[in-house]
Structure 1
Amino acid sequence: MLGINTVAKKIFGTANDRKVKATRPLVDKINALEPEFEALSDQGLIDRTADLKERVAGGESLDNILPEAFANCREAARRALGLRAFDVQLMGGIFLHQGNISEMKTGEGKTLVATFPAYMNALTGGSVHIVTVNDYLAKRDAEWMGKVYGALGMTTGVVYPQQPDGEKKQAYACDVIYATNNELGFDYLRDNMKSSLREMSQRGHHFAIVDEVDSILIDEARTPLIISGPAQDRSELYVTIDKLIPLLTEEHYTIDEKTKNVTFTEEGNEFIEETLRENGLIEEGHSLYDPESTTIVHHVNQGLRAHKLFQKDKDYIVRDSEVVLIDEFTGRMMPGRRLSEGLHQAIEAKEGCKIQPENVTLAQVTFQNYFRLYDKLAGMTGTAATEAEEFAQIYGLGVVEVPTNLPIARIDQDDAVYRTQEEKYNAIIEAIQKAHEKKQPVLVGTTSIEKSEVLSQLLTNAKVPHNVLNARQHEKEAQIVADAGKLGAVTIATNMAGRGTDIKLGGNVDFKVMEAIAAEPEKDPEEIRQRIEAEHEADEKAVKEAGGLFVLGTERHESRRIDNQLRGRSGRQGDPGRSAFFLSLDDDLMRIFGSERLEKVLSGLGMKEGEAIIHPWVNKSLERAQAKVEGRNFDIRKQLLKFDDVMNEQRKVIFKQRLDIMKASDLSEIVQDMRGEVIDEMIDQYMPPKTYADQWDMEGFDAAVREKLNLDLPVVEWADEEGVDDEDIAERLEKAADEMMAQKAAAFGPENMRSIEKQILLQTIDQKWREHLLTLEHLRSVVGFRGYAQRDPLNEYKTEAFQLFETMLDSLRQDVTQKLSQIRPMTEEEQQSMMQEMEQQRAQMAAAAETQKEGQIVQETSSPEGFDENNPETWGNPGRNQPCPCGSGKKFKHCHGQFS
């Protein structure tokens, strides 16, 4: 009997069907405009862009101009690339503009789809970022789609690592910018380490379209982006501890594969303590639990993790005596990425590589918090539905499945489960041989380099020619993927997520043409292309007759999404194809997540060796196991994000303060306020409220005045004067300090003084922020233990992080006041030398950008247009000594303008 939900879906359609149906009228409008835009000249398309820009600037909404903008873009793409967008591609573009994730199957033309919302949103003048998973795709797509934007009168930029600063600024000044998620995040951090506005590259965060959105916003979101600098070298300690780890036996530690964690047992703790004592790493009479042992214990734990949780050729490879991490989802190498908190150094010691020094964090941000900066966010992928809840909760993104242009003709077979790895591999080799005999191309998906190489050896023994794509063959990636659809090709790939190159049946024509031209340079390229296109047509037909691409998965991944991505490589644009997964009870997922029941079932069926169980129930049971793992991983990411959100609020405050300081032309009032607050704090400390003069600590106060304000004043005698109270002393101090700073400003010259104040403020903020990040890291690593005392670690972290932030701001005020009070008028040579030194210090953190004249920023003193006393964003730039626009009656500096 059908359930109520099933009946309702049959009558009314699913929620997704209704969203798709709602776009039909818009698509019809775009199609109706096609003849009008076809009739335009090339210049006519550019003129239409200018007209649309004017209308948007005049207040017309983007939704209102959507049909015209999309029609203009479709015509430009047809002329520039020879590609006319299908109706489903227009739908995908509409969903992206609305701030959704468009789930579109592989081969449906997502790269072209992004041009429609990108073009339309760039009409507002805000920058549009199109985010890709690697630099090759960013450059390829920018060059390819740049022709479309060019035909529309728009500019296209591409951002890549180690790009010269001038070129990077030019790229960010374009209408549409292609870049990787890493480079965008790092540029955001670098911009917030610069010392002037003209050095900053990014111009706001208006709209981002993230390609392979699940890979970037979920898989990679577990690792924050960190800009770091070297700390002290402790390589000897890592080597010493590394020699101790192999002495441990299995009873000394426990591994929890589900949570990927390893801990010492009681016996292990006793053994390691004794061993550390014997090696002189812990002094006699001290234990592991003493505060002095914290660092050693941390290093021992990291050594244990390096040996027991990280496997060579699965989690990392050693290349040129360097440990290079491997992305577990894409199988790609991640050069430049390092594990934090000494774990990378522990792996280097284990592998006998040169140990790089540990780093201290200068700036960091998670992808979640970076991408939530955008006014509007959208994404594209072939597989997002399984993570819809996470996209909605973390990013506020809906997921819409866009129908395929042609019906999917791929046959998805039920999983085949074998009892042992050996039986599974025998069945896989047999299936590959059968397909190869009839010339059907085969794509074999593995989950690690090690497994892909085992399979490669088995195929070599079976005399089956094949290609292997994993982190070792990273450079040949595009070529290997392009060849995977050739007649009779066998390709082994480690995790096919987000490879970015389509597998076309019969092979990729462009790659074949390039190969032939290189082999026969004397022949006419056009003749070569015509010959290869004719050959390709025959090859494509032969591959289709052989059954299309056969995708063979060698085990299930923890994430259903990665399996779906592998499967989706076959059956593009209505092509025939089939997919199958071969599993065994020894596979990681089966072994870790409860295969005992399944093993009993298989034993009860009296299965013979080499037989497999194939049934839809098995698929369902595996999907449930995968859903559980995905749910747990989501909870972990959610918890990490809650902790990072605490830091993110503080980061936003600090970055805004830096921006305000860089925008201001005169900071004398801010430093004067800081000085006043430092004096107030000194008065409170040495002359506590409600105390008598004979209870004041005037010697301590005198020393503090000399140290922090650089003033030699008779403060001890002031206290002996009749009728003098703490307020009188505070006033005298402020007056003396103001006079001294006025003399310095006169001696330096007002312009130089303003520049020095700005540099010292920025330098001190950066230094304090770096120290604060390190303190928060330490707090984060120990706060989990509060759970044992029945206290919520997150609440504890929030409370202490806030107190630390307040302390940091107090310390900032004191340091800035002290540094400014101690500068003295110098000769011209000394002044130039000091300014150069400051600039050099800044350059160590961020490379200086090309000089560009900075426009003067005028402070608004009258109420700006659209003023609302309840909305600080409408107040403009009030003077710090003016009444606060909120109407409180206080000065702005003592109300909403407090430095906090």
Structure 2
Amino acid sequence: MFASLARAVFGTSNDRALKGFRRRVAAIAAFEPALSELSDEALRAKTTEFRARLEKGETLDELLEEAFAVVREGAKRVLGLRHFDVQMIGGMVLHSGKISEMKTGEGKTLVATLAVYLNALPGLGVHVVTVNDYLAKRDAEWMGQLYRFLGLSTGIIIPGLDDAQRREAYAADITYGTNNELGFDYLRDNMKYRLEDMTQRPFNFAIVDEVDSILIDEARTPLIISGPSDEPTELYSKVDAVVQDFLHRGRKEDGTHEFYEKDEKARTVVMTDHGSEIVEDMLREAGLLTEGNLYDIFNISLVHHVQQSLRARVLFTRDVDYIVRDGKVMIIDEFTGRMLEGRRYSDGLHQALEAKEAVTVERENQTLASITFQNYFRLYPKLAGMTGTAMTEADEFEQIYKLQVVEIPTNVPVTRIDHDDEIYRTAAEKYEAVATLIAECRERGQPVLVGTTSIEKSEIISELLNNKKIKHSVLNARFHEQEAKIVAQAGAPGAITIATNMAGRGTDIKLGGNYEMRVALEPETPPEVIRAEIEVNHAKVKAAGGLFVIGTERHESRRIDNQLRGRSGRQGDPGGSRFFLSLEDDLMRIFGSDRMGGMLQKLGLREGEAIIHPWINKALEKAQKKVETRNFDMRKNVLKYDDVMNDQRKEVYAQRREFMSAEAVSAVVAEMREDVITTLVALRIPERAFAEQWQSAELAEDIARVLGLNLPIMEWAAEEGIDENHLRERITEAAQAEADAKAQRFGVDLTNYIEKSILLQTLDHVWKEHLLALDYLRQGIGLRSYGQRDPLNEYKREAFKLFNAMLDELKERVTRLTAHVSIAEAPPPPPPPVTMENHPLPGGMTGELALAEPVVQAQPPRPYREDEVDPARPETWGATPRNAPCPCGSGKKFKYCHGAVK
């Protein structure tokens, strides 16, 4: 009661924020008359003037009113658009490092120019982040006209650019790019070996378009750069054949299965005890299980293959979760309905899907570098965002990113009528009702946008309309290339458009048709003819009631439903919306309360009839809130685990930059060598031990192995009065003398190059192995809860121990390699390709983000020759990859032989 009373007297926090911003709108408008009198050159000169004032000590806030007025004037001259007052408020919200929530059609792209221009003035770079390459290119070209007019440079980051082009784009005042490309560039940069090869500048300010899609929907999945592993792929197909037969045997007549249990909420499938016994026998029959039982430690890889094959066949559906095109399995984004070109599921799941669909099974990848979107975007000192739907996730933005959401009022009041949901018993009845409403709208010339949650469902409705001879267009991952054309015509009189998730489409549906789009798509038609047609059609559609949006199902997120509704009623246009549901819908079946279904049955819901009541809407909203809360918990869980790795990642990347920026790293190498010697001596000579207890012979072997020195350790140990400190000092002096002699032979420049190369390459090797160790740790850490221990605290403790072990391994490897290095002239072997991929998440979740386009990792030449490798002389082996055969000829992998961690 007190809260509502306070809101009535003082207004909401959103009202108070808007009040503060409104005061400055009048000040901005006051500059307009004088600026309109300036020539183009004089207006452009304002940018130089602002920069000079900044150098003299003025702040961006002090420049805000005049700078915004300059952008408004420039937009009028270049784009033919004048910022509304509410757009000025949106720009101030962005500049203040908050999220600006503006309805669809309110001109968010234009709003961003205000904050972008102001924050680009210091010359430190501004990043505008979009959800796809199409929007990045469109916005960079469209708004780039304005920035160039005002004297600022613009760059764009899209796939296929080389490092020089990326470096140039990042050096621009304003850089447009997708969240994936920017994130991968950050990871790629931290795999480079020279500072001048890095493409990104230090982060300054980013504005994230469709901020809810990028920072929330996609935040469940980390970005990963990975390289191919050496594991064979044939096992996936063989296991898939067994699992297919296994599923066939256990299927009951009622549609259930006796060999596994499925949890659709958690998206998990687990074999029953009986099912495990059956699959074990089947694997033996197929010759895949040759010894022990299925759950013996040496069969753990086979268990993994069975589990992923089972998930692929039970939980993942073709044309819903993925499609098959050109012999490849393509993931479909559940939020936008787009094909995720090149992205792959992790942890062998994508390979299991490829085996299921009988296409070429590509190799699994091993993580080389990884970061979550949460931790990537928190690298920016200043961050802002804009979207049409953020208020429902305001708590998450505040908790995770420290971003407040400000709801900006519309320029013209929204007149769209949002009807109550209609709920039917079966999906068939629901679709029939949808088709009937579509036909009614078409008769009166009202355009209709039908929103579906999957390709499968969009094609069900398409078939239904075809049977009724109703002309329509379908927009989903199958017809992705026709997107612009379909959306451009979606507002024409009587147009029927079926779309799979309209989130992030980025193109407005304008009543009567989209003029700019039609001009681009119909070059043979005179623009004046197109404009006249659109004006006539606009009047027809307005009279028919505007765009009508039909939702064929409630999405698990309220934001996605609101995005669909928001396509209608832009800029005060008339419009309507209605959602149709059935008791068979996923949300109702999985997350709706049992009471709802029972209540509808008691009300005597008959075939073809619908229940329409505001209470239904509230019950559904509660179900959606449940799912949103669960998804928030999942994302928080991902972040908690990644925060542990993030601290380590920051330390490793900072260390790499320090090594790259140093002229010489001899002091670092010498310090590592001393630490290694101290460790070796402590290992063989316990503290306060008598001389006869010293393991002198073993120490001499260790010194020869690591330092390549044959020192008289036995003789030194036999000397009267010597202790471990004296012995350590002698070894250190001998090692330093050998290093100095080698540096003299090689020369200063070559020595510096070799040491820096070895240091950076070895750091990358041990970091890669550390990431793999953390992967394994994270997958099994949840089991600690059975022992009444907190998995997160256990993960922190174990990860810290692994990190220290990694540092010790780094020191020993660097010491050993620098001690055994020799000069040779030979071109380096081609490095393996690295790909951007997804990652398994804690708690059994699986990420879905990957970029499969090969990117060659720059590597300095290795300082040894392959043809000089002598199996008997470790000093000739060089930096042998961990998964390569050991050069000693044992037949084992290097990591299990001479490369094993001691």
Compute the TM-score of the two structures, normalised by the length of structure 2.
0.91
Shift of 1:59: 2.7
Aligned equivalents of 1:127 and 1:502: distance in 2? 29
Shift of 1:273: 2.2
Q: 1:58-457 alignment to 2 at 5 Å?
A: 58-246=56-244, 247-248=246-247, 249=250, 250-284=257-291, 286-457=292-463
Q: Structure 2: which amino acid aligns with 1:399?
A: V
Aligned partner of residue 517 in structure 1, secondary structure: coil
Residue in 1 that maps onto 2:866: none
Query: Is this contact kept in 2: 1:708–1:814, CA < 8 A?
Result: yes
Q: Tell me the alpha carbon deviations over residues 587-616 of structure 1, each in whole angstroms, 9 at most, x when there is no partner.
A: 000111235322222222223321111111
Q: 1:480-499 alignment to 2 at 5 Å?
A: 480-499=486-505
Q: Which has the higher contact order (CA 8 A, sep 6+)?
A: 2
Shift of 1:126: 1.3
Q: 1:713-752 alignment to 2 at 5 Å?
A: 713-752=711-750
Aligned partner of residue 213 in structure 2, secondary structure: helix
Moved more, 562-571 or 775-784: 775-784
Out of 734, 744, 760, the position equivalent to 1:762 is 760
Aligned partner of residue 340 in structure 2, secondary structure: coil
Aligned equivalents of 2:601 and 2:657: distance in 1? 68
Q: 1:399-798 alignment to 2 at 5 Å?
A: 399-518=405-524, 528-798=526-796
Aligned equivalents of 1:602 and 1:713: distance in 2? 88
Residue in 1 that maps onto 2:828: 837
Aligned equivalents of 2:833 and 2:520: distance in 1? 47
Q: 1:14-25 alignment to 2 at 5 Å?
A: 14-25=12-23
CA distance 1:445–1:125, shift in 2 (3 Å): same
Aligned equivalents of 1:837 and 1:241: distance in 2? 39
Gapped regions of structure 1 (runs ≥ 5): 521-527, 852-900
Aligned equivalents of 1:255 and 1:740: distance in 2? 64
Aligned equivalents of 2:831 and 2:345: distance in 1? 29
Shift of 1:299: 1.1
Q: Tell me the alpha carbon deviations over residues 336-371 of structure 1, each in whole angstroms, 9 at most, x when there is no partner.
A: 111111000001001101000111111111111100
Aligned equivalents of 2:309 and 2:466: distance in 1? 37
Aligned partner of residue 367 in structure 2, secondary structure: strand
Aligned equivalents of 2:723 and 2:519: distance in 1? 90
Size of the aligned set, in residue pairs, is 833
Shift of 1:847: 4.7
Q: Structure 2: which amino acid aligns with 1:341?
A: D
Q: Structure 1: which amino acid aligns with 2:70?
A: N
Aligned partner of residue 503 in structure 2, secondary structure: coil
Shift of 1:117: 0.8
Shift of 1:335: 1.4
Q: In angstroms, what is the RMSD of aligned CA positions?
A: 1.7
Aligned equivalents of 2:711 and 2:857: distance in 1? 42
Aligned partner of residue 485 in structure 1, secondary structure: coil
Q: Structure 1: which amino acid aligns with 2:828?
A: E
Q: 1:847-866 alignment to 2 at 5 Å?
A: 847=856
Aligned equivalents of 1:461 and 1:634: distance in 2? 42
Aligned equivalents of 2:592 and 2:515: distance in 1? 46
Residue in 1 that maps onto 2:42: 44
Q: Tell me the alpha carbon deviations over residues 817-873 of structure 1, each in whole angstroms, 9 at most, x when there is no partner.
A: 10000013x4xxx2x43xx4289689999657899xxxxxxxxxxxxxxxxxxxxxx
Q: Structure 1: which amino acid aligns with 2:293?
A: S
CA distance 1:515–1:192, shift in 2 (3 Å): closer
Residue in 1 that maps onto 2:899: none
Aligned equivalents of 1:847 and 1:638: distance in 2? 33
Aligned partner of residue 366 in structure 2, secondary structure: strand
Q: Structure 2: which amino acid aligns with 1:188?
A: Y
Shift of 1:293: 1.7
CA distance 1:107–1:542, shift in 2 (3 Å): same
Query: Does 1:57 pair with 2:48?
Result: no
Moved more, 124-133 or 47-56: 47-56
Query: Is this contact kept in 2: 1:384–1:399, CA < 8 A?
Result: yes
Query: Is this contact kept in 1: 2:236–2:352, CA < 8 A?
Result: yes
Aligned partner of residue 383 in structure 2, secondary structure: strand
Query: Is this contact kept in 2: 1:200–1:849, CA < 8 A?
Result: no
CA distance 1:682–1:849, shift in 2 (3 Å): closer
Q: Structure 1: which amino acid aligns with 2:135?
A: L
Query: Is this contact kept in 2: 1:229–1:361, CA < 8 A?
Result: yes
Alignment identity in percent? 57
Shift of 1:279: 2.6
Query: Is this contact kept in 1: 2:488–2:518, CA < 8 A?
Result: no
Query: Is this contact kept in 1: 2:831–2:857, CA < 8 A?
Result: no
Shift of 1:291: 1.1
Residue in 2 that maps onto 1:880: none
Aligned partner of residue 837 in structure 1, secondary structure: coil
Aligned equivalents of 1:708 and 1:239: distance in 2? 44
Aligned equivalents of 1:815 and 1:846: distance in 2? 27
Residue in 1 that maps onto 2:32: 34
Shift of 1:734: 1.1
Q: Tell me the alpha carbon deviations over residues 454-512 of structure 1, each in whole angstroms, 9 at most, x when there is no partner.
A: 10000000110000000001111111111110111000000010100000000111222
Compute the TM-score of the two structures, normalised by the length of structure 1.
0.91
Aligned partner of residue 207 in structure 2, secondary structure: strand
Q: Structure 2: which amino acid aligns with 1:379?
A: G
Q: 1:804-883 alignment to 2 at 5 Å?
A: 804-824=802-822, 826=823, 830=824, 832-833=825-826, 836-837=827-828, 847=856
Residue in 2 that maps onto 1:896: none
Query: Is this contact kept in 2: 1:198–1:849, CA < 8 A?
Result: no
Aligned partner of residue 187 in structure 2, secondary structure: helix
Q: Tell me the alpha carbon deviations over residues 169-189 of structure 1, each in whole angstroms, 9 at most, x when there is no partner.
A: 110100000000000000000
Shift of 1:557: 0.3
CA distance 1:838–1:726, shift in 2 (3 Å): farther
Aligned equivalents of 2:208 and 2:457: distance in 1? 31
Query: Is this contact kept in 2: 1:160–1:179, CA < 8 A?
Result: yes
CA distance 1:419–1:846, shift in 2 (3 Å): closer
Aligned partner of residue 581 in structure 1, secondary structure: strand
Shift of 1:271: 1.6
Query: Is this contact kept in 1: 2:227–2:833, CA < 8 A?
Result: no
Aligned partner of residue 26 in structure 2, secondary structure: helix
Aligned equivalents of 1:206 and 1:513: distance in 2? 38
Q: Tell me the alpha carbon deviations over residues 24-79 of structure 1, each in whole angstroms, 9 at most, x when there is no partner.
A: 11111101111122122222222211121122233322111111111111111111
Aligned partner of residue 339 in structure 1, secondary structure: coil
Query: Is this contact kept in 1: 2:491–2:509, CA < 8 A?
Result: yes
